[in-house]
Structure 1
Amino acid sequence: MKLPTHLIEKEISDEIVNVSDLQPQTRYVRCKVVQEFDRLFISDVIFERCEFLFNDLERAEIQNVHFRYCDLSNLNFFDSYLGSIHFEDCKLMASSFAKCFMRNVQFSNVFARYVGMMGSKVEDIHFMKCDVSESSFQELNFKRLSFHECTINKANFSGTPMKGLDLRTCEFDAILFTGKEVEGLKIRMDQAVHFARQMGMLVD
Protein backbone atom coordinates (compact mmCIF):
# COMPACT_ATOMS: atom_id res chain seq x y z
CA MET A 1 0.00 0.00 0.00
CA LYS A 2 1.30 3.43 -0.94
CA LEU A 3 0.87 6.01 1.83
CA PRO A 4 1.18 9.78 1.38
CA THR A 5 4.73 11.03 0.98
CA HIS A 6 5.61 14.66 1.36
CA LEU A 7 8.69 16.81 0.99
CA ILE A 8 7.62 19.62 3.31
CA GLU A 9 8.91 22.99 2.23
CA LYS A 10 7.02 25.25 4.63
CA GLU A 11 4.67 25.28 7.60
CA ILE A 12 1.65 27.53 8.14
CA SER A 13 0.20 27.72 11.65
CA ASP A 14 -2.84 29.29 13.32
CA GLU A 15 -4.27 30.92 10.21
CA ILE A 16 -7.54 30.87 8.29
CA VAL A 17 -6.90 29.23 4.92
CA ASN A 18 -9.15 28.71 1.94
CA VAL A 19 -9.11 25.35 0.19
CA SER A 20 -8.41 27.11 -3.12
CA ASP A 21 -5.28 28.70 -1.61
CA LEU A 22 -3.70 25.51 -0.25
CA GLN A 23 -0.07 25.18 -1.25
CA PRO A 24 1.55 21.82 -2.08
CA GLN A 25 4.37 20.54 0.15
CA THR A 26 2.97 22.53 3.08
CA ARG A 27 2.11 21.47 6.62
CA TYR A 28 -0.94 23.28 8.05
CA VAL A 29 -1.02 23.26 11.83
CA ARG A 30 -4.01 24.40 13.96
CA CYS A 31 -5.47 26.20 10.97
CA LYS A 32 -9.13 26.89 10.24
CA VAL A 33 -9.93 25.66 6.75
CA VAL A 34 -12.76 27.35 4.82
CA GLN A 35 -14.35 26.75 1.44
CA GLU A 36 -15.58 29.18 -1.24
CA PHE A 37 -16.02 26.99 -4.30
CA ASP A 38 -18.05 23.82 -4.88
CA ARG A 39 -15.36 21.95 -6.84
CA LEU A 40 -12.54 20.96 -4.52
CA PHE A 41 -9.05 19.73 -5.26
CA ILE A 42 -6.64 19.04 -2.40
CA SER A 43 -3.18 17.58 -2.99
CA ASP A 44 0.22 17.06 -1.37
CA VAL A 45 -0.39 18.64 2.03
CA ILE A 46 -0.45 17.71 5.70
CA PHE A 47 -3.23 18.89 8.01
CA GLU A 48 -2.40 18.67 11.70
CA ARG A 49 -4.93 19.63 14.40
CA CYS A 50 -6.88 21.63 11.84
CA GLU A 51 -10.56 22.61 11.98
CA PHE A 52 -12.70 22.37 8.86
CA LEU A 53 -15.40 25.06 8.87
CA PHE A 54 -17.58 23.43 6.22
CA ASN A 55 -19.15 20.01 5.79
CA ASP A 56 -19.44 19.49 2.04
CA LEU A 57 -16.60 17.82 0.14
CA GLU A 58 -18.94 16.31 -2.44
CA ARG A 59 -17.24 15.34 -5.73
CA ALA A 60 -13.85 16.43 -4.40
CA GLU A 61 -10.51 15.12 -5.58
CA ILE A 62 -8.11 14.52 -2.70
CA GLN A 63 -4.66 13.06 -3.34
CA ASN A 64 -1.54 12.43 -1.28
CA VAL A 65 -2.88 14.05 1.89
CA HIS A 66 -2.13 13.26 5.53
CA PHE A 67 -4.70 14.23 8.19
CA ARG A 68 -3.37 14.11 11.77
CA TYR A 69 -5.40 14.85 14.91
CA CYS A 70 -8.16 16.50 12.86
CA ASP A 71 -11.89 16.44 13.56
CA LEU A 72 -13.57 15.55 10.27
CA SER A 73 -16.88 14.48 11.77
CA ASN A 74 -20.02 14.92 9.64
CA LEU A 75 -18.05 15.78 6.50
CA ASN A 76 -19.70 14.71 3.25
CA PHE A 77 -17.23 13.12 0.79
CA PHE A 78 -20.03 11.82 -1.47
CA ASP A 79 -18.89 10.78 -4.97
CA SER A 80 -15.30 11.91 -4.32
CA TYR A 81 -11.95 10.46 -5.32
CA LEU A 82 -9.48 9.79 -2.50
CA GLY A 83 -6.02 8.50 -3.40
CA SER A 84 -3.01 7.90 -1.11
CA ILE A 85 -4.65 9.32 2.02
CA HIS A 86 -3.74 8.71 5.66
CA PHE A 87 -6.20 9.55 8.43
CA GLU A 88 -4.24 9.32 11.68
CA ASP A 89 -5.69 9.86 15.18
CA CYS A 90 -8.67 11.68 13.67
CA LYS A 91 -12.40 11.84 14.35
CA LEU A 92 -14.64 10.89 11.42
CA MET A 93 -17.87 10.31 13.28
CA ALA A 94 -20.91 10.18 10.94
CA SER A 95 -18.91 11.24 7.89
CA SER A 96 -20.09 10.02 4.49
CA PHE A 97 -17.89 8.32 1.91
CA ALA A 98 -20.84 7.02 -0.12
CA LYS A 99 -20.31 6.36 -3.84
CA CYS A 100 -16.61 7.23 -3.56
CA PHE A 101 -13.64 5.77 -5.38
CA MET A 102 -10.92 5.23 -2.78
CA ARG A 103 -7.45 3.85 -3.43
CA ASN A 104 -4.54 3.47 -0.99
CA VAL A 105 -6.26 4.89 2.09
CA GLN A 106 -5.28 4.05 5.66
CA PHE A 107 -7.27 4.82 8.80
CA SER A 108 -5.06 4.61 11.91
CA ASN A 109 -6.53 4.93 15.41
CA VAL A 110 -9.57 6.76 14.03
CA PHE A 111 -12.92 7.20 15.80
CA ALA A 112 -15.26 6.54 12.88
CA ARG A 113 -18.60 5.44 14.29
CA TYR A 114 -21.65 5.83 12.02
CA VAL A 115 -19.49 6.35 8.92
CA GLY A 116 -21.27 5.66 5.63
CA MET A 117 -19.32 4.00 2.82
CA MET A 118 -22.30 2.62 0.91
CA GLY A 119 -21.88 1.79 -2.75
CA SER A 120 -18.22 2.81 -2.92
CA LYS A 121 -15.42 1.20 -4.90
CA VAL A 122 -12.32 0.77 -2.75
CA GLU A 123 -8.84 -0.65 -3.33
CA ASP A 124 -6.15 -1.13 -0.68
CA ILE A 125 -8.15 0.32 2.21
CA HIS A 126 -6.92 -0.52 5.69
CA PHE A 127 -8.39 0.20 9.12
CA MET A 128 -5.96 -0.17 12.04
CA LYS A 129 -7.09 0.16 15.67
CA CYS A 130 -10.23 2.08 14.68
CA ASP A 131 -13.77 2.17 16.05
CA VAL A 132 -16.18 1.77 13.12
CA SER A 133 -19.14 0.56 15.16
CA GLU A 134 -22.55 0.99 13.51
CA SER A 135 -20.89 2.12 10.29
CA SER A 136 -22.26 1.13 6.89
CA PHE A 137 -20.20 -0.86 4.38
CA GLN A 138 -23.22 -1.87 2.32
CA GLU A 139 -22.93 -2.76 -1.38
CA LEU A 140 -19.16 -2.22 -1.20
CA ASN A 141 -16.99 -3.20 -4.15
CA PHE A 142 -13.57 -3.84 -2.66
CA LYS A 143 -10.13 -5.17 -3.43
CA ARG A 144 -7.76 -5.61 -0.50
CA LEU A 145 -9.83 -4.32 2.41
CA SER A 146 -8.63 -5.04 5.95
CA PHE A 147 -9.59 -4.42 9.57
CA HIS A 148 -6.86 -4.91 12.20
CA GLU A 149 -7.62 -4.66 15.93
CA CYS A 150 -10.79 -2.67 15.25
CA THR A 151 -14.11 -2.40 17.05
CA ILE A 152 -16.78 -3.10 14.44
CA ASN A 153 -19.87 -3.77 16.51
CA LYS A 154 -23.11 -3.65 14.48
CA ALA A 155 -21.29 -2.57 11.32
CA ASN A 156 -23.52 -3.20 8.31
CA PHE A 157 -22.11 -5.32 5.46
CA SER A 158 -25.41 -6.07 3.74
CA GLY A 159 -24.89 -6.71 0.05
CA THR A 160 -21.08 -6.84 0.39
CA PRO A 161 -19.46 -10.24 -0.27
CA MET A 162 -17.01 -10.73 2.62
CA LYS A 163 -15.05 -13.64 1.18
CA GLY A 164 -11.40 -13.36 2.21
CA LEU A 165 -12.03 -10.62 4.79
CA ASP A 166 -10.26 -11.38 8.08
CA LEU A 167 -11.90 -10.12 11.28
CA ARG A 168 -10.04 -12.36 13.74
CA THR A 169 -8.26 -9.45 15.46
CA CYS A 170 -11.46 -7.38 15.74
CA GLU A 171 -14.10 -7.12 18.45
CA PHE A 172 -17.87 -7.16 17.93
CA ASP A 173 -21.08 -8.58 19.38
CA ALA A 174 -22.93 -8.48 16.07
CA ILE A 175 -22.42 -7.63 12.40
CA LEU A 176 -25.34 -6.86 10.15
CA PHE A 177 -25.81 -8.92 6.99
CA THR A 178 -28.74 -10.31 5.04
CA GLY A 179 -27.65 -13.71 3.75
CA LYS A 180 -24.64 -15.26 2.08
CA GLU A 181 -22.34 -12.22 2.38
CA VAL A 182 -20.43 -13.95 5.20
CA GLU A 183 -19.37 -16.97 3.14
CA GLY A 184 -15.57 -17.17 3.22
CA LEU A 185 -15.25 -14.66 6.08
CA LYS A 186 -12.41 -15.43 8.51
CA ILE A 187 -13.39 -15.21 12.19
CA ARG A 188 -12.42 -16.68 15.56
CA MET A 189 -14.31 -19.54 17.17
CA ASP A 190 -15.78 -17.28 19.86
CA GLN A 191 -16.95 -14.83 17.19
CA ALA A 192 -18.79 -17.63 15.39
CA VAL A 193 -21.18 -17.79 18.33
CA HIS A 194 -22.44 -14.28 17.54
CA PHE A 195 -23.15 -15.27 13.94
CA ALA A 196 -24.93 -18.42 15.00
CA ARG A 197 -27.22 -16.47 17.33
CA GLN A 198 -27.95 -13.90 14.63
CA MET A 199 -29.01 -16.75 12.35
CA GLY A 200 -31.44 -18.08 14.95
CA MET A 201 -29.36 -20.93 16.30
CA LEU A 202 -29.40 -21.82 19.99
CA VAL A 203 -25.87 -21.89 21.39
CA ASP A 204 -25.16 -23.22 24.88
Structure 2
Amino acid sequence: MGKIYENQTITQGTLLEAGMYGVEYFECTIERCNLFEQQLNNCIFSNCTFKDCDLSMCKLNNTQMNDIRFENCKLMGVDFSRCPGFLFEVNFIDCILDFCSFEKLKMANTSFRKCSMKGVDLVGTQLQNSLFHQVNLEEAIFTNTNLKEANLSTAYNFTISPTQNNIKKAVFSENNLSGLLHEFGISIV
Protein backbone atom coordinates (compact mmCIF):
# COMPACT_ATOMS: atom_id res chain seq x y z
CA MET A 1 0.00 0.00 0.00
CA GLY A 2 0.95 3.63 -0.49
CA LYS A 3 0.41 6.56 1.85
CA ILE A 4 -2.08 6.59 4.71
CA TYR A 5 -4.17 9.64 5.60
CA GLU A 6 -6.20 9.75 8.80
CA ASN A 7 -8.56 12.44 10.18
CA GLN A 8 -7.59 14.98 7.53
CA THR A 9 -9.30 17.31 5.10
CA ILE A 10 -8.06 16.35 1.66
CA THR A 11 -8.09 18.88 -1.18
CA GLN A 12 -7.12 18.64 -4.84
CA GLY A 13 -3.43 19.37 -4.20
CA THR A 14 -3.11 16.76 -1.45
CA LEU A 15 -4.77 14.10 -3.59
CA LEU A 16 -2.53 14.75 -6.58
CA GLU A 17 0.55 14.78 -4.36
CA ALA A 18 -0.36 11.42 -2.79
CA GLY A 19 -0.96 9.78 -6.11
CA MET A 20 -4.08 7.77 -6.74
CA TYR A 21 -3.00 4.16 -6.46
CA GLY A 22 -3.01 2.15 -3.25
CA VAL A 23 -3.64 5.08 -0.90
CA GLU A 24 -5.61 4.63 2.34
CA TYR A 25 -7.97 7.30 3.73
CA PHE A 26 -9.49 6.86 7.20
CA GLU A 27 -12.06 9.31 8.61
CA CYS A 28 -11.11 11.96 6.06
CA THR A 29 -13.14 14.66 4.34
CA ILE A 30 -12.35 14.97 0.64
CA GLU A 31 -13.48 18.41 -0.60
CA ARG A 32 -13.75 20.18 -3.95
CA CYS A 33 -11.63 17.65 -5.84
CA ASN A 34 -11.88 17.11 -9.57
CA LEU A 35 -11.28 13.39 -10.08
CA PHE A 36 -12.88 13.17 -13.52
CA GLU A 37 -11.65 10.01 -15.30
CA GLN A 38 -8.99 9.42 -12.61
CA GLN A 39 -7.74 5.97 -11.61
CA LEU A 40 -8.47 5.40 -7.91
CA ASN A 41 -7.53 1.74 -8.05
CA ASN A 42 -6.61 -0.38 -5.01
CA CYS A 43 -7.40 2.44 -2.57
CA ILE A 44 -9.19 2.18 0.77
CA PHE A 45 -11.72 4.79 1.83
CA SER A 46 -13.11 4.15 5.30
CA ASN A 47 -15.52 6.42 7.22
CA CYS A 48 -14.90 9.25 4.74
CA THR A 49 -17.03 12.06 3.31
CA PHE A 50 -16.72 13.39 -0.24
CA LYS A 51 -18.07 16.96 -0.58
CA ASP A 52 -18.48 18.96 -3.78
CA CYS A 53 -16.31 16.57 -5.80
CA ASP A 54 -16.46 15.43 -9.42
CA LEU A 55 -15.71 11.71 -9.61
CA SER A 56 -17.39 11.19 -12.98
CA MET A 57 -16.01 8.30 -15.01
CA CYS A 58 -13.33 7.57 -12.39
CA LYS A 59 -12.09 3.99 -12.05
CA LEU A 60 -12.51 2.19 -8.74
CA ASN A 61 -11.01 -1.21 -9.51
CA ASN A 62 -10.51 -3.10 -6.24
CA THR A 63 -11.14 0.11 -4.24
CA GLN A 64 -12.80 -0.36 -0.88
CA MET A 65 -15.68 1.94 0.04
CA ASN A 66 -16.48 1.39 3.72
CA ASP A 67 -19.06 3.77 5.25
CA ILE A 68 -18.69 6.56 2.68
CA ARG A 69 -20.91 9.61 2.38
CA PHE A 70 -21.11 11.60 -0.86
CA GLU A 71 -22.56 15.13 -0.61
CA ASN A 72 -23.22 17.34 -3.63
CA CYS A 73 -20.96 15.20 -5.82
CA LYS A 74 -21.04 14.38 -9.50
CA LEU A 75 -20.41 10.64 -10.05
CA MET A 76 -21.66 10.06 -13.61
CA GLY A 77 -20.68 6.73 -15.15
CA VAL A 78 -18.88 5.30 -12.10
CA ASP A 79 -18.83 1.50 -11.96
CA PHE A 80 -19.16 0.79 -8.24
CA SER A 81 -19.53 -2.92 -9.01
CA ARG A 82 -15.72 -2.99 -9.38
CA CYS A 83 -15.40 -2.32 -5.63
CA PRO A 84 -15.06 -5.32 -3.32
CA GLY A 85 -18.44 -6.15 -1.81
CA PHE A 86 -17.06 -6.84 1.65
CA LEU A 87 -17.98 -3.92 3.95
CA PHE A 88 -19.21 -1.88 0.95
CA GLU A 89 -21.35 0.94 2.35
CA VAL A 90 -22.16 4.23 0.64
CA ASN A 91 -24.79 6.96 1.05
CA PHE A 92 -25.61 9.85 -1.27
CA ILE A 93 -27.07 13.33 -0.71
CA ASP A 94 -27.70 15.77 -3.60
CA CYS A 95 -25.58 13.75 -6.03
CA ILE A 96 -25.66 13.07 -9.76
CA LEU A 97 -25.31 9.29 -10.20
CA ASP A 98 -26.49 9.05 -13.81
CA PHE A 99 -25.31 5.92 -15.65
CA CYS A 100 -23.52 4.44 -12.61
CA SER A 101 -23.44 0.69 -12.03
CA PHE A 102 -24.21 -0.94 -8.71
CA GLU A 103 -24.73 -4.33 -10.33
CA LYS A 104 -24.91 -7.24 -7.87
CA LEU A 105 -23.70 -5.19 -4.89
CA LYS A 106 -25.05 -5.73 -1.38
CA MET A 107 -26.32 -2.29 -0.39
CA ALA A 108 -29.00 -2.85 2.25
CA ASN A 109 -29.97 0.30 4.16
CA THR A 110 -28.44 2.67 1.60
CA SER A 111 -29.76 6.23 1.54
CA PHE A 112 -30.19 8.13 -1.73
CA ARG A 113 -31.49 11.65 -1.01
CA LYS A 114 -32.31 14.22 -3.71
CA CYS A 115 -30.23 12.42 -6.32
CA SER A 116 -30.39 11.96 -10.07
CA MET A 117 -30.01 8.27 -10.92
CA LYS A 118 -30.90 8.26 -14.63
CA GLY A 119 -29.91 5.08 -16.44
CA VAL A 120 -28.39 3.50 -13.30
CA ASP A 121 -27.70 -0.26 -13.41
CA LEU A 122 -29.28 -1.93 -10.37
CA VAL A 123 -29.36 -5.47 -11.81
CA GLY A 124 -29.11 -8.03 -9.02
CA THR A 125 -28.47 -5.33 -6.41
CA GLN A 126 -29.49 -5.95 -2.80
CA LEU A 127 -31.25 -2.72 -1.75
CA GLN A 128 -33.55 -3.95 0.99
CA ASN A 129 -34.53 -1.29 3.55
CA SER A 130 -32.98 1.44 1.36
CA LEU A 131 -34.34 4.96 1.00
CA PHE A 132 -34.90 6.70 -2.34
CA HIS A 133 -35.98 10.19 -1.20
CA GLN A 134 -36.80 12.56 -4.08
CA VAL A 135 -34.73 10.48 -6.52
CA ASN A 136 -35.11 10.58 -10.30
CA LEU A 137 -34.87 6.95 -11.50
CA GLU A 138 -35.58 7.60 -15.17
CA GLU A 139 -34.45 4.60 -17.26
CA ALA A 140 -32.85 2.95 -14.21
CA ILE A 141 -32.49 -0.79 -14.78
CA PHE A 142 -34.19 -2.95 -12.15
CA THR A 143 -33.87 -6.70 -12.80
CA ASN A 144 -33.58 -9.26 -9.99
CA THR A 145 -33.23 -6.30 -7.64
CA ASN A 146 -34.08 -6.77 -3.97
CA LEU A 147 -36.17 -3.76 -2.91
CA LYS A 148 -37.81 -5.51 0.04
CA GLU A 149 -39.00 -2.88 2.54
CA ALA A 150 -37.31 -0.10 0.52
CA ASN A 151 -38.92 3.34 0.60
CA LEU A 152 -39.61 4.74 -2.86
CA SER A 153 -42.56 6.89 -1.82
CA THR A 154 -40.99 10.10 -3.17
CA ALA A 155 -38.97 8.53 -6.01
CA TYR A 156 -40.13 9.28 -9.54
CA ASN A 157 -39.77 8.34 -13.23
CA PHE A 158 -39.05 4.68 -12.45
CA THR A 159 -40.24 1.50 -14.12
CA ILE A 160 -39.99 -1.49 -11.80
CA SER A 161 -41.37 -4.89 -12.71
CA PRO A 162 -43.11 -6.48 -9.70
CA THR A 163 -42.58 -9.90 -11.32
CA GLN A 164 -38.81 -9.52 -11.88
CA ASN A 165 -37.90 -7.79 -8.60
CA ASN A 166 -38.54 -8.33 -4.91
CA ILE A 167 -40.75 -5.42 -3.80
CA LYS A 168 -42.32 -7.12 -0.79
CA LYS A 169 -43.28 -4.52 1.82
CA ALA A 170 -41.65 -1.74 -0.22
CA VAL A 171 -43.28 1.67 0.16
CA PHE A 172 -44.66 3.57 -2.84
CA SER A 173 -47.02 6.54 -3.06
CA GLU A 174 -50.23 6.76 -5.04
CA ASN A 175 -48.44 9.27 -7.30
CA ASN A 176 -45.78 6.82 -8.49
CA LEU A 177 -47.75 3.56 -8.85
CA SER A 178 -47.73 3.82 -12.65
CA GLY A 179 -44.03 2.85 -12.57
CA LEU A 180 -45.05 -0.54 -11.16
CA LEU A 181 -47.83 -1.20 -13.64
CA HIS A 182 -46.03 -0.36 -16.87
CA GLU A 183 -45.33 -3.99 -17.85
CA PHE A 184 -49.03 -4.81 -17.53
CA GLY A 185 -50.10 -2.04 -19.91
CA ILE A 186 -52.29 -0.52 -17.20
CA SER A 187 -52.88 3.22 -17.17
CA ILE A 188 -53.70 5.17 -14.04
CA VAL A 189 -55.85 8.26 -14.58
| TM-score normalised to structure 2 length | 0.82
Structure label with greater radius of gyration: 1
Distance 1:53 1:95, change over 3 A: closer
Q: 2:131 aligns with which of 146, 149, 158?
A: 146
1:65-101 per-position Cα deviation (integer Å, ceiling 9, x unaligned): 1111000001222444311211011100111101542
Q: 1:85 aligns with which of 48, 68, 92?
A: 68
- Pair 1:68 & 2:57 matched: no
What displacement does 1:186 show?
2.1
- Pair 1:193 & 2:173 matched: no
Distance 1:90 1:41, change over 3 A: same
Hey, what does 1:129 align to over in structure 2? Answer: 114
Gapped regions of structure 2 (runs ≥ 5): none
Counterparts of 1:21 and 1:61, CA distance in 2: 11
Gapped regions of structure 1 (runs ≥ 5): 1-18
Counterparts of 2:108 and 2:94, CA distance in 1: 20
Counterparts of 1:145 and 1:179, CA distance in 2: 20
What displacement does 1:110 show?
0.4
Q: Assess if the C-alpha contact under 8 Å between 2:20 and 2:41 holds in 1.
A: no
- Pair 1:162 & 2:147 matched: yes
Distance 1:186 1:75, change over 3 A: same
Distance 1:43 1:198, change over 3 A: same
Tell me the SS of whatever aligns to 1:127. strand
Q: 2:93 aligns with which of 103, 108, 113?
A: 108
Count of aligned positions: 185
- Pair 1:31 & 2:36 matched: no
| TM-score normalised to structure 1 length | 0.77
What displacement does 1:195 show?
2.6
1:143-182 per-position Cα deviation (integer Å, ceiling 9, x unaligned): 532111111112112111222112111121x325483415
Aligned residue identity for 1:194: G
Q: Assess if the C-alpha contact under 8 Å between 2:118 and 2:140 holds in 1.
A: yes
Counterparts of 2:182 and 2:109, CA distance in 1: 32
Aligned residue identity for 1:115: C
Hey, what does 2:156 align to over in structure 1? Answer: 171
Distance 1:40 1:22, change over 3 A: closer
- Pair 1:44 & 2:13 matched: no
Tell me the SS of whatever aligns to 1:52. coil
